[in-house]
Structure 1
Amino acid sequence: MVLIAVCLAAIVLPLSFSGGAVATPAIGRDLGGSAVSLTWITNAFMLSFGSLLMAAGALADVYGRKRLFVGGVFFFVLTSFALALAPSVFWIDVLRALQGIASAAALSGGTAAMAQEFEGHARTRAFSMLGTSFGIGLAFGPLLAGSLITTFGWRAVFLSTALTGLVALIFGALRMRETRDPNAQGLDWPGTITFTATLVLFTYGVIEAPELGWSDPFVIALLAASALMLLVFIVVESRVQRPMLDLTLFRYPRFIGVQMLPIGTCYCYIVLIILLPLRFIGVVGLSEIDAGILMIALSLPMLVVPVIVASLTRWVSAGVLSGIGFLIAAVGLQWLSRIDVSTTGVAVAMPMLLIGIGAGMPWGLMDGLAISVVPKERAGMATGIFNTTRVAGEGIALAIASAVLAAYAQSVLGDIIGTRETAAHIAESAQRLATGDMARAIATLPGVNPRDLLSGYGEAFQNLLHIMTVITVLAAGSVFGFLSRTSSNDDAVGTAGQSNL
């Protein structure tokens, strides 16, 4: 029953992540809102989720794993119901941030509680099922969200997550037992505050940059303040007795290599989970359900490839397999960049399938590697750092990719349109295109041929894919360099590393 409760929560979290992205064009059509406010629908969730994971883990140790899980899921259900009734994009953004906080509590409390319920091989099987649940949520989240939007409207996406969370809450509250860490010393408040401030300021600056300009004093101030908060965070964590982030773990080269795994998958996979539905629905004009069906080509390998790759670790190093996966994903990204933006169907599904296969190879090995590359007594902290790198990295990667896409679109549209329109109108249209709002992009530039806007968006997306390819290749090189040697613990990676979000 405990496993069912946590796995249900594991299914609904990626659905909240991808469902919000699929629903963004429909929300924009219904409620309006600026391009920046629509961008925050996804970023607010990922930012609060990623920045508070380590803090939530510490709170679970102090106040109880069951209490944090039940409280997190309960709060998640409330915010989901509220999202289904939200009257404006502003309130959706606020509620999505609160939903991310609830998700951090639910995931940290649930996984910690599950670890107390199972021992040995049973624990391995339980966490494998947890990883499969995440895979199901990612693989079928866009399709489910598209079906709900087409049939009932975008509010049904949040209503469905609320109902699923409610079922998880009932199972968890009834059967989960309370456990705590008797040696826990509370939350590292200075570390939590400075780390969260670093992520919030950086993300806010990157999101505002395409509209205001990278040289705008406000943007520069935000990015400078983010760098200052990062420096303060490092100083704080190096001096406190029980830091939220143990910086000494970075003395292990293989631990550094492990952090490149989620970073690589962010840019070759997670970013596409968000941006491709916006492209298919808002720019190309597919229905939500057709876009969801097409997205299966990208996500479905996550249900199969990690299991296959885990079995290969008996003969090949997990680091080598991960690096090969990144190279396969890079080939898929380049293939996708050569396809016309208006193309749909099998022609675009094939490179998406290749990207999914490549990204799936490190996906099923990451958690096991995060534990195996450090001494056993440091495994808990290593896992917390890795999960934070993964989720917070996803939010940062998405903010950067969206900003780069908007900046490229603005530059390309400026070259195509010339001086016929003001720079402000071109920038607004580019922002609208980046959020998948072709209708408002056309309305912003009424005298421009819509084909020029589509062409400009296509060229901008192609340039973004080139950058993502380079980052993915660099991730592969880092993984080969740091993780290619077989560790004595690598034989445990194949069975322990399948619980990725």
Structure 2
Amino acid sequence: MEITENTGHPRRWAILGVLVVSLLVVVLDNTILNVALRTLADPVHGLGASQGELEWAINSYTLVFAGLLFSFGVLGDRTGRKRFLLIGLAVFGLGSLLSAYAQSPAQLITARSLMGVGGAAIMPVTLSIISNVFDPRERARAIGVWSGAVGLAVAIGPILGGALLERYWWGSVFLINVPVVLAGLVLVGLLVPESRDPRPGRVDVLGVLLSVVGLVALSYGIIDGGEHGFGRPVVWASIAVGLAVLAWFIVHERRSDHPSLDVTLFRVPRFAAPVAMIGLIFFAAMGVMFFSSFYLQLVRGYSPLQTGLLFLPFALAQLVFAPRSAAMVRRYGGRAVSAVGLCLAVVGLGTFAFVGVDTPIWLVGAAFFVQGVGMANVMPPAMESIMSALPREKAGVGSAVSNTIRQVAAALGVAVLGSVLAAVYRGEIAATTAGLPAGARNAADESLAGAYAAAGRLGADGATLIDAANTAFVDAMHWAGALSAVVAALGVLVALRWLPGRPSRPPVTAVPAGEPELAATS
């Protein structure tokens, strides 16, 4: 048999290393932030951010990232992928620098939005560059390395963040990005070749604006309602405007000949079902990750580094079981594997509906591990179903849609579950704070971190407030944990009803040739 020449770039593996670092810094940032939330809420050592402001610190990045992902992929294909990667790294580095030295929660939220712009420019072009520099025979292996960087970031992010917070001020979790970005700019400039799509798509500017405005308005109403109560007209007006704009977005996308999100794909059940499943599990999981950081650091008194280590069972489960999931799909079929995985995630998430102030910490670690095992067995069958439901030339679109839905669902999970947590906590703590001075009462009513700060100024009465705040927070966590489990359980029903029993072609680990074109929109 004749062996054809490898058509890949001579420096393709070095280029892949640079692209992996570029991706790593984008994913790492969010996992680092989880362990920094308690410090950011501290009025002395942090910014004194409220729970709602912390939710926006997460969601301002995620929503901007998700809203721009498709269009920035098209822009990268049109203007030059190397150029766009350099621009994305520079913007991400600038946003990181501004985040590190933010003087208020509002400044941090704005800087995080800028980081979202940079992240949205980086992620799609890295896959497109891989497609350009690797021979098709090596492409699946290269993308496997690229995908593994995400798991690595999930694993080391909380530990690195905790280690930084043990020795340095809170801004270090953002400042750590800057030298990595600078190195990335130099290496990309030296190693990565320029490439363009000879037939780039058109940018759907109106679609991008509608999606971002609609999601921000909806999230604002949910977060503000949870923080200050749902009895105010402005909350429901914001939610109504958000839903109306998102409905306009869907109508516009259906009529557009160059949509930023091809909503017609959702008419295909084998595509729509796994995308919905991905959205449901990430909605549930990211909301739990948000409040569990406060539980571990405030209620249980663990340091940031110890908290990062307690998140490690989740990451290790992902790293160990995700690579084995594809073999399970081949043997048992996507429906069975994903249903079992989602059931395990329900158990892990539902554990937080029963965790108390003094629950053995090994049980919390076990819950994270079970949740990680479950989620590791959701993505491969979901992606296999997505890919098998689409023609080969739409493979990149399928990946991009699932990634966008995942980001949006994560943001809404933080918003909704965070609002449930805040509303229940506020109702539980009200009786205890009624007799406190106005300043202490307002701080304690706002959040658990506020209660701890107020307790420090109350002398002997502070211990009573802390006990009441811990109890109120744990009660609120029970409601949020139960809701997250219910949402994940809906994913089980979706999997059992619509996911195929056996893959019609090899699972997604053998990535189709079109997969790297994440930026494609049609």
Query: TM-score, normalized by length of structure 1?
Result: 0.92
- C-alpha displacement of 1:438: 4.4
Matching residue within 347, 350, 357 for 1:341: 357
TM superposition shift of 1:421: 6.5
- The aligned counterpart of 2:5 is none
Aligned to 2:223: 207
The 1-side partners of 2:386 and 2:189 are apart by 30
* Contact 1:198-1:229 at 8 Å conserved across structures: yes
- Structure 2: distance between partners of 1:33 and 1:468: 24
Tell whether 2:83 aligns with 1:67.
Answer: yes
- The structure 2 residue matched to 1:7, chosen from 20, 33, 44, is 20
Quick one: percent identity of the two aligned structures?
26
Distance 1:341 1:39 in 2: 23
Gaps of 5+ in 1: none
CA distance in 2, matches of 1:423, 1:208: 21
Distance 1:282 1:356 in 2: 23
What letter is aligned with 1:6? L
Corresponding position: 1:399 with 2:415: yes
Which of 243, 252, 261 aligns to 2:259? It is: 243
Q: In structure 1, how many angstroms separate the alpha carbons of the residues matched to 2:174 and 2:381?
A: 31
Match of 2:444 in 1: 429
Which residue of structure 2 aligns with residue 384 of structure 1? 400
Residue number among 449, 453, 473 corresponding to 1:440 in the alignment: 453
CA contact (8 A) 1:46 1:392 kept: yes
Question: Which deviations, in whole Å up to 9, do the C-alpha atoms of 1:194-223 show, x marking residues without a partner?
Answer: 111111111111111123321311111111
What amino acid maps onto 2:18 in structure 1? Answer: A
- Judging changes above 3 Å, is the alpha-carbon distance between structure 1 residues 396 and 279 closer, same or farther for their aligned structure 2 residues? same
Separation in structure 2 between the aligned mates of residue 430 and residue 359 of structure 1, nearest angstrom: 35
Task: Give secondary structure in 1 for the equivalent of 2:378.
Answer: helix
Structure 1 residues 186, 130: closer, same or farther in 2, change over 3 A? same
Is the 1:306–1:365 contact (alpha carbons within 8 Å) kept by the matching residues of 2? no
1:360 maps to 376
Equivalent residue in structure 2 for 1:481, among 474, 494, 497:
497
1:496 paired with 2:514, answer: no
Corresponding letter in the other structure for 2:278: P
**Residue 8 of structure 1 aligns to which amino acid in structure 2?**
V
Give the structure with higher Rg (CA). 2
Q: CA deviation at 1:342?
A: 4.1
**Are the equivalent residues in 2 in contact too, given 1:329–1:358 (CA < 8 A)?**
yes
The answer to whether residue 95 in structure 2 is matched with residue 92 in structure 1 is: no
The residue that corresponds to 2:270 in the other structure is: 254
Q: How does 1:134-149 map to 2 (within 5 A)?
A: 134-149=150-165
Contact 2:433 2:444 in 1 (8 A): no
Alpha-carbon distance in structure 2 between the residues aligned to 1:427 and 1:466: 28
Match of 1:22 among 35, 45, 57: 35
The root-mean-square deviation of aligned C-alpha atoms, in Å, is: 2.5
Moved more, 367-376 or 50-59: 367-376
Q: Give the whole-Å Cα distance in 2 for the aligned partners of 1:432 and 1:178.
A: 49
Secondary structure of residue in 1 paired with 2:377: helix
CA distance in 2, matches of 1:205, 1:473: 26
- Name whichever of 140-149 and 173-182 sits farther off: 173-182
Equivalenced residue count is 496
Specify whether residues 348 and 437 from structure 1 end up closer, same or farther in structure 2 by C-alpha distance, changes over 3 A only.
farther
Residue 81 of structure 1 aligns with an amino acid whose one-letter code is L
For residue 441 of structure 1, report the CA deviation from its aligned partner.
5.8
| CA distance in 1 between partners of 2:250 and 2:454 (Å) | 42
Where 2:330 maps in the other structure, the secondary structure is coil
Q: Work out the CA distance in 1 between the residues paired with 2:287 and 2:52.
A: 17
Q: Distance in 2 between matches of 1:472 and 1:69?
A: 35
CA distance in 2, matches of 1:210, 1:492: 41
- Gaps of at least 5 residues in structure 2 are 1-13
Structure 1 residue 131 and structure 2 residue 150: aligned?
A: no
CA distance in 1, matches of 2:189, 2:388: 33
CA distance in 1, matches of 2:284, 2:256: 36
Secondary structure of 2:255 counterpart: coil
Q: Indicate the SS of the match to 1:493.
A: coil
1:262-341 equivalences under 5 Å are 262-341=278-357
